[in-house]
Structure 1
């Protein structure tokens, strides 16, 4: 029997680089939000103990380097049963090098999927710990929704999942460019903790109703991404795309993660659809969607 699992991608509503650590990694302060766009992972059990992975279209990297394959191996190793096998199929939609966490989302979905397929019955927290060995974004994407993340992204504080206000539409677009992570980190300013702590304090100061509706998090003035400072000079197509999204009527636009994708929030569907039509020539991926949570 084949079972499926949706792998929702993510955007960053806020992202600051706080400091560079002695181990070479960077401490971040960010707000993750899953969106209703992503890949789909499906699988059926194999009786020979082999894990195989195939795709809806050829990928330009070896299967062994795919986080889906690595997630399957990690979960099997954690189970202690090397006889577990799976035939996995990845319907890949999300672009690479896009700052949307597509590969991490696929890994998280694989952990959830094989946990069911192999009847392991591991709780989400245990899957998150396994996911942390695969990538910084994976633990969040095991659960999804809305979360504050610190450290390299592994220290999570989940909050009431956000929804966009009634009638608003999320546009996500990826230009004909990809941003290597090293480009984003090279030259990014290290802000220290003040901006991030002030951001958290502003959210915490709201009433319960305001926090439930994300009033502070979704206010147009609260969106920030420090990587725009380092990415835009080296990747003008990303900067130009953000400008176009704003010019086409978004109330807010921001680069997601380390790029190259940009998202915009529009107050009505008609304006968002017109913007999408105008952006098609400038993008390698484009969707109109909404926030996602389980």
Structure 2
């Protein structure tokens, strides 16, 4: 049988406001999710038993066991809908996005696995239902299911559209210093100061320019290279440059693809050790 394929689109947080620490140990946030037209690749075909193989630039150190979020997502759907509808699959994950990088990672891959299974075996399931099923795997998974620009509140899993913010096709450059950043310690180091909500009284793009990532300071304390990247990106005159998620990946949005491409070339010359990906927002 020919393998069927799906993409784990790179996620970025255009803004991330931390509002409070919750009693359950999580944080109340407001974040604007967006997605890039590139990411990890998943291919699968029906087999006698489930299996996962991982290749690609960032495959080293990833577990191919049942604990991998890709296989956990597959297991969730099979447990709910039965093995007669969701058969065993031989899965291959090509990992092109850096790990522990603030751009979706395992969440995007789990969501891609879910979309792949839905398209082939469970076409009646809508995005909202699929997001609800996958949400136990992580706060970002719900947004990654549809992989469309949206506002996330709560822990990030309560999603709504932002109709006035039309960013599809915006040229974007992602930059990572090839240093993983652990999410838990970054959230734990948040200062505990509520600096206000997203977009209050503002036109969406103007509000985005006035927004922030409240995890940027604690992430830089863990990975100082983030500050270097932001400094370099700011000098290239994008209309927005910010850290994504809990780091270490940063992004820059440009008005023209030629500006993005020139920035990518310049950064590659100055910092050949950094990882970059040029694309456009979906």
Pair in the same fold by TM > 0.5? yes
Quote how far apart the aligned CAs of 1:41 are.
Answer: 1.1
Aligned counterpart in structure 2 of residue 93 of structure 1, from 76, 96, 99: 96
**Cα pair 1:225 1:255 within 8 Å, conserved:** yes
Please identify, of 112-121 and 85-94, the stretch whose mean Cα deviation from structure 2 is larger: 112-121
2:280 matched to which residue of 1? Answer: 290
Spell out, residue by residue over 1:111-170, the C-alpha distance to the aligned partner (whole angstroms, 9 max, x if none).
Answer: 01012222463222221111101111011110121111111111111233854488x521
Report the alpha carbon displacement of residue 30 of structure 1 after superposing the two structures with TM: 0.6
1:125 to 125, 128, 134: 128
Residues 181 and 222 in structure 2, CA contact (< 8 A), matched pair in contact too: no
Q: Distance in 1 between matches of 2:216 and 2:136?
A: 28
Quote the Cα distance in structure 2 between the aligned partners of 1:217 and 1:283. 34
Q: What residue is the counterpart of 1:53 in the other structure?
A: 52
Superposed, 1:18-97 pairs within 5 Å as 18-46=19-47, 48=48, 50-57=49-56, 58-64=59-65, 65-81=67-83, 84-97=87-100
Q: How does 1:99-118 map to 2 (within 5 A)?
A: 99-118=102-121
Deviation of the 1:217 alpha carbon: 4.8
Contact 1:162 1:291 in 2 (8 A): no
The offset of 1:40, in angstroms, is 1.5
Q: Where does residue 174 of structure 1 map in the other structure?
A: 176
TM-score by length of 2: 0.89
User: For the Cα contact (< 8 Å) 2:14–2:31, is it kept in 1?
Assistant: yes
Check whether the contact 1:11–1:257 (CA below 8 A) recurs between aligned residues: yes
Q: 1:245 aligns with which of 233, 238, 250?
A: 233
Equivalent position of 1:211 in the other structure: none
Q: Deviations over 1:217-256 (max 9, x none)?
A: 55xx324100112122332101111100111222321000
Question: Where does the alignment leave 5 or more consecutive residues of structure 2 unmatched?
Answer: none
Counterparts in 2 of 1:86 and 1:226: CA distance versus 1, 3 Å? same
4+ residue runs of structure 1 moved beyond 4 angstroms? Answer: none
Distance 1:52 1:161 in 2: 43
1:75, distance to aligned residue in structure 2 (A)? 0.9
Q: Distance in 2 between matches of 1:34 and 1:273?
A: 18
Distance 1:145 1:256, change over 3 A: same
Offset at residue 90 of structure 1 (A): 1.1
Name the counterpart of 2:216: 228
- Aligned positions, number: 275
